[in-house]
Structure 1
Amino acid sequence: MTLFEQILAARGLSDASVRQAFLSPDYAATKYDPFLLSEMDKAVERLVLARQKQEKIVIYGDYDIDGLSATALLLDAFHSFGFQRLDAFIPNRFVEGYGMTIGAVNKVRDMGAQLIVTVDCGSLCHTEIAYAADLGIDTVVTDHHNIAPTRPPAIATVNPKYADHEYPFRDLCGAGVAFKLVQALQTRLDGLPDGYEKWLLDLVALGTVCDIVTLADENRANVYWGLEVLKKQRRTGLKALMAVSGIEPEIVNARHLGFGLGPRMNAAGRLDTAQHSLDMLTATDGIEALAASEKLEAFNVERRSIQDEIFKQACEQADGMADDRVLVVASEGWNHGVIGIVASKLVETYKKPVFIIGIRGDTATGSARSFGNFSAADAVRAADDIILRGGGHGAAAGVTLETAQIPAFRRRVNEFYDSLNLTDQVRFLQPSADVEVKDFAEITEELVEQISRMEPFGNGNPEPILKIAHAVVAGVRRMGANGQHVKIALRDASEKTLQVLAFNAPESFFREPGDEIAAWFQPNINEWNGVRTVEGRLLHVELR
């Protein structure tokens, strides 16, 4: 069995037919009937009526990439269907916050809305949807977030989280649900012939990858073919953003979406308003698209600078909390739109769950990141009596509390951690190898090309990780302005070497020549001055 076959077997892909379906996703095979989603029929009927009357429709999105992609998707499709009075509303993270609010509904009313179509939000907005109804505005909800025991008072609420449907795949993102609405409308309205909806898959792919839903089944097919659409550069805005990001369309992959386009689009909403990102997505003029993309690039540069400064300050606090099992760091003025990213970096650095809190006068708002068996959301719930509000899930949560309660909150979440009697949680942060290699002769350019056939990579289909249990450090080279990167020449038992590289490497990666180590890495191709060599992205090192 070849190394690639071993990797496929480790992923449960030994069966030939299963393997073929995985390596060559079939869009038609996973294009499930959208009317299997509950209340899709009601949503379509209301939109058909709106099309007949040419009512004013406002698409109510969200400021994250999934919501922005879904908003742009519906604007594009609705124009094709002949809706003439269309607008979009993207809430401001620092004004309206997530989801629908009464203030935002008033703004939508002032836009002349007769029908609101939400994307990536709305399932829990009972009060706001009822308020809109009192104003004479109907609402159709499309969403994928958590639901309440009762549906909101909307004309229709389309969400795969509900149990009362027979739809075979439930982990769609917001853009994925919006895409199902488009597929359903194709059965009732002219303007977007069957098959032409596939040109919207670039936006579906963007939302799916960046919202980190499972890349399996329908999601995998949508992202696979969405990347093919991106390669054809049909959307002016994304074409410009790829150019600004230095992404070559011919080789675009899911990693480019998650780590190239995504951060630039998110930066606008973190620092100002996500409307800038929607302007880029909907731009049809090349000059306007380039200007919008350059603005996003500038936001992203600024975001990195702010993020680095907050991280530095947070580390100064965390260094004095060596005995804390959960880090709770806080300061005045930390940007609420950036602290979640910093929380993730702190987890990587200190190997502990983290709450990072930005103080604004008497109130403070924080983001949490966790791992293993410690639920960030449960920790928030354990402090319910001393916070103003909060929630989330196991890996990430948010919290708002009075500034004076921060010390008490720090004690409470650490006491909650102790009550769980957890052991060896750091293991959850260590990479898990798909296969173990004995020597580097198997790490070839052909293997890297074979692994690329497993794209798109992401949640549910991570890029394969290889492990060599015994290698000798043949050479070490520090790189970067501050020596923060490391390149190591590893030698196996047969004296063959492989160069492995880690950016912003932890100190434990900086080994000495002659050290015997185990190494976890992902093989890739390095091309420099026309010369292609196989190297590895170093993920973890352990001394033997």
Structure 2
Amino acid sequence: MGDPVLQWQVYGDSEVPEAFVQAVKQQAPGIEGRYLPQLLWQRGIREVERLAGYLFAASYQPTSAIAFGKEMQWAVQRLVQAIERDETIAIWGDFDADGVTSTAVLWDGLGQFFPQHEKLFYYIPNRLTESHGLSKTGIDQLKHVHLIVTCDTGSTNLDEIQYAQSLGIDVIVTDHHTLPELRLPVIAIVNPRSLDQNHPFASLSGVAVAYKLVEALYEALPDVPEKPIEQLLDLVAIGLIADLVELKGDCRYLAQKGIEQLQKQSTKEATRPGITRLLELCKRSGDRPTDISFGLGPRINAVSRIQGDAHFCVELLTSQDVQRCRELAEQTELANTRRKALQKDVLQQAKAKLSQLDLSTTGVIVLWDEQWSAGVLGLVAGQIAQEYGKPTILLTIDGEFARGSARSTNQIDLYQLVKDQEHLLHRFGGHPFAAGLSLAIDNLELFAQAINQRLLQSSEPPIPTIQADLCVTVSELNLELYKEIRLIEPCGMGNPIPKLLIRNCWFQAGRNTKLQDFRGRKVEYIRTPFTIWDETVEKGFPGIWWGHYAYELPSGRCDAIVELENNVQQKRYEVRLIAVRACEQVNVAAQSQWLLDWRSDRTTEDALPPAHGNVLELKTAPANWIEFQTWFRRAIHQQRPLAIAYPPPTLMPAAEIWQTLVGIAKYLSRTGKTATRQQLYDRLHIGDVALKAGIQALEQFGFQVTYADQRFRMTLKDSDQSVNAAIEQFFTAVREEQFYRQYFAQVPFSTLQAVVAQWDIPTRN
């Protein structure tokens, strides 16, 4: 009963307008445009005028901090007043990655105006003994300050704010969590939840709001800061991507700019030795959002999950003491190692409890156990929510109370679901995708029943689904696909990492291994390396299945959903396996009827099915599977059968083709004439990939090659004979194309039929 049954969905292969495809290629001239236009179109990025700003941060016009309105003005006025009066300020943060980086941004940013440790202090609650938000106990430790500035917290802490005011302490709230119906009695509350949902700031996380406050103060007092505000953006990127917020508008822009800054931390331009050491420990370079979501973010979160107290994380992120930062980074790494083992244990125990439930009648998964570590409950809840397709709440028992974390899925507003049971709760807070809560243990059973009933009353039970963005073959898992996927990064809520469906594939599993920490000790967390194969390749493609054993991989043909990654450590591309299932029964005749074999003597019209009229002929053996699929898609779109009518290929030695190409280039240079792409294809008997490699070799050989009005112009500038590496790359491309041309000339027709039957290409009635 407990096994999840996820419904697989694939985005329809909707026709992307050619004008949009060309616009995308114009904005990103280094790509071929096979995948990116489709991904953008599916994600609602369809206005040509938005493309440049979406793809490239340099083309986006960021929104000024003053767009927050009067609340931001009031916050800045109070901070300027504190500077003029030489007052003492305390930053009140939170213990997760967004809260820690928010605190670090204010610590560094406000530290340009207030002496740190003299007039500026920070406080972060203990995850294991305190909860999110302000507390009277913590405020008692800050009686000496005149002003508290919260970050990533505080929007619902009315009682605590009134207590601070009774002590003569003013409060500025910066946060992104759900607002109460009535405005808090504070100096200012800067929170994007007060803005329209289409506002460029609508999805900012806590760290981004904190950054905007610093930005506004920099603009008010531009002569004071000694460090450029851009140096804070790496911290902003870490908090944004580690938190569950939608990366759109200024949120996406800040993440893009932040990753540019983060990359510097693994170079000689590094300004944060703590981040530099963390990147070393997680074997990442900081140039990808996944370096945060799978590297830095979990490590920063692990400190409070394991130790409770996250204060030293701010020091780790902001200190310039290299030796101290190395020590703190290694403590962080050890905490993360312990976190992985705890997470694995709790996940196994939670799944054992799930096996006793009837999931067909369960809308929200609610589980609890007095032995569970509170620090990893949010992580495990997120795993279960994703795997089972249902909102998940996990709690641990602490005295008379149960407290824990909730994670949502399938766009269900979990915050509202929990809030509807507020009468049963002791405390709660969060946003639609994640929440924290506590309640009396006597209310647990009633809470679980009530929240399930509430979901079922408000909507149909959600169907657990996993969405694939593109249907590809193993041969398409290459640099071109990777380049185009990278352009939609950073990924997150509302813009997930593209998931790739590979049909009719099979696996060759390696030996599952346990991870090792930086000291070489085994970690109780497993991964299984594998290679994935299909009919389009003669060599398997590498991949990793995290948290699974080798025996769990199916032995026969199957369908798989994967994500394409760049493994910087091993200098290769690989896939991360997301889901796998046995192959569905495919109606081969339905799609393969559009394919005809005219490679032998069947070249007469009577070989055609009478209902189909004219035919599209493929007269040259394809140089790869992508080219063959492109022809097949064209045939389907035109409602014409595709006849493979090519003769055995003409295979010239690669060196001879190179000499011919050089001769053509010299002729064009001498005469001033031009050549079309098709003329070069026909003369050299090569395809697009080899031609591109040949052009690159010519450019190193001394030719200037330009392409305009669909024609090549070549001019010899300065001959350079030391181009062996480029020529060898050309030879390799030619030989690979020739291999495939021979393959397509000889492959059994039944194999081609089986392959095209697996492609997700809709036919029109």
Matched, 1:242 2:275: no
Shift of 1:496: 8.0
8 A Cα contact 1:521 1:538, kept in partner: yes
- 1:56-135 matches, within 5 Å, as 56-83=88-115, 85-109=119-143, 112-135=144-167
Shift of 1:101: 1.7
CA distance in 2, matches of 1:387, 1:294: 38
CA distance in 2, matches of 1:371, 1:177: 25
Residue 503 of structure 1 is matched in structure 2 by 546
Cα separation, partners in 2 of 1:19 and 1:136, compared to 1, 3 Å: same
Cα separation, partners in 2 of 1:523 and 1:366, compared to 1, 3 Å: closer
Residue 286 of structure 1 is matched in structure 2 by 322
Cα separation, partners in 2 of 1:372 and 1:507, compared to 1, 3 Å: farther
Matched, 1:443 2:486: no
Cα separation, partners in 2 of 1:505 and 1:154, compared to 1, 3 Å: same
Residue 298 of structure 1 is matched in structure 2 by 334
Shift of 1:413: 4.1
CA distance in 2, matches of 1:333, 1:166: 43
Secondary structure at the aligned position of 2:137 is classed as helix
Structure 1 letter corresponding to 2:400: D
Structure 1, 53-62 or 413-422: larger mean CA deviation: 413-422
Secondary structure at the aligned position of 1:133 is classed as helix
Deviations 1:257-316 (A, max 9, x none): 122111111112223201121221222200111111111112112222222222233333
Secondary structure at the aligned position of 2:347 is classed as helix
Secondary structure at the aligned position of 1:461 is classed as coil
Structure 1 letter corresponding to 2:127: R
Higher Cα Rg, which structure: 2
Unaligned runs of 5+ in 2: 1-32, 265-269, 515-525, 585-765
Deviations 1:393-444 (A, max 9, x none): 55444443332443444444444455567356212xx1x232333x444432
Deviations 1:435-491 (A, max 9, x none): 333x444432232123223322222322222324x4242x43243148962625321
- 1:386-425 matches, within 5 Å, as 386-390=424-428, 392-416=430-454, 419=457, 422-423=460-461, 425=463
Residue 293 of structure 2 is matched in structure 1 by 258
Shift of 1:146: 1.4
Residue 52 of structure 2 is matched in structure 1 by 20
CA distance in 2, matches of 1:18, 1:524: 27
8 A Cα contact 1:63 1:274, kept in partner: yes
Shift of 1:183: 1.6
Structure 1 letter corresponding to 2:92: Y
Residue 276 of structure 1 is matched in structure 2 by 312
CA distance in 2, matches of 1:230, 1:489: 33
Matched, 1:309 2:345: yes
CA distance in 1, matches of 2:387, 2:195: 40
8 A Cα contact 2:176 2:204, kept in partner: yes
Instruction: Specify which of 366, 372, 375 is matched with residue 334 of structure 1.
Output: 372
8 A Cα contact 1:380 1:391, kept in partner: no
Q: What RMSD over aligned residues (CA atoms) do the two structures have, in Å?
A: 3.2
Structure 1 letter corresponding to 2:303: A
Residue 369 of structure 1 is matched in structure 2 by 407
Cα separation, partners in 2 of 1:44 and 1:525, compared to 1, 3 Å: closer
CA distance in 1, matches of 2:436, 2:111: 37
Matched, 1:319 2:352: no
Instruction: Specify which of 84, 95, 110 is matched with residue 52 of structure 1.
Output: 84
Secondary structure at the aligned position of 1:21 is classed as helix
Shift of 1:165: 12
Secondary structure at the aligned position of 1:467 is classed as strand
Matched, 1:223 2:269: no
8 A Cα contact 2:564 2:574, kept in partner: yes
Residue 522 of structure 1 is matched in structure 2 by 563
CA distance in 1, matches of 2:204, 2:387: 32
Secondary structure at the aligned position of 2:230 is classed as helix
User: Share of identical aligned residues, percent?
Assistant: 32
Matched, 1:173 2:205: yes
Secondary structure at the aligned position of 1:6 is classed as helix
Structure 1 letter corresponding to 2:370: E
8 A Cα contact 1:35 1:41, kept in partner: no
8 A Cα contact 1:36 1:165, kept in partner: no
8 A Cα contact 1:74 1:182, kept in partner: yes
CA distance in 1, matches of 2:499, 2:119: 50
Secondary structure at the aligned position of 1:176 is classed as helix
Cα separation, partners in 2 of 1:140 and 1:221, compared to 1, 3 Å: same
8 A Cα contact 2:370 2:396, kept in partner: yes
Secondary structure at the aligned position of 1:186 is classed as helix
Cα separation, partners in 2 of 1:356 and 1:527, compared to 1, 3 Å: closer
CA distance in 2, matches of 1:10, 1:373: 17
Structure 1, 479-488 or 449-458: larger mean CA deviation: 479-488
Per the normalisation by structure 2, the TM-score is 0.63
Instruction: Specify which of 392, 397, 421 is matched with residue 354 of structure 1.
Output: 392
8 A Cα contact 1:38 1:165, kept in partner: no
Shift of 1:392: 4.7
Structure 2 letter corresponding to 1:510: L
Shift of 1:5: 3.5
Structure 1, 98-107 or 310-319: larger mean CA deviation: 310-319
CA distance in 1, matches of 2:429, 2:108: 34
CA distance in 2, matches of 1:165, 1:481: 45
Structure 1, 408-417 or 19-28: larger mean CA deviation: 408-417
Unaligned runs of 5+ in 1: none
Secondary structure at the aligned position of 2:468 is classed as coil
Structure 1 letter corresponding to 2:301: N
Shift of 1:321: 2.4
Deviations 1:44-77 (A, max 9, x none): 1111111112111111111122221121112212
CA distance in 2, matches of 1:351, 1:189: 49
Secondary structure at the aligned position of 1:212 is classed as coil
CA distance in 1, matches of 2:126, 2:152: 15
8 A Cα contact 1:490 1:497, kept in partner: yes
8 A Cα contact 1:39 1:158, kept in partner: yes
Aligned length: 530
CA distance in 1, matches of 2:282, 2:488: 24
Structure 1 letter corresponding to 2:274: G
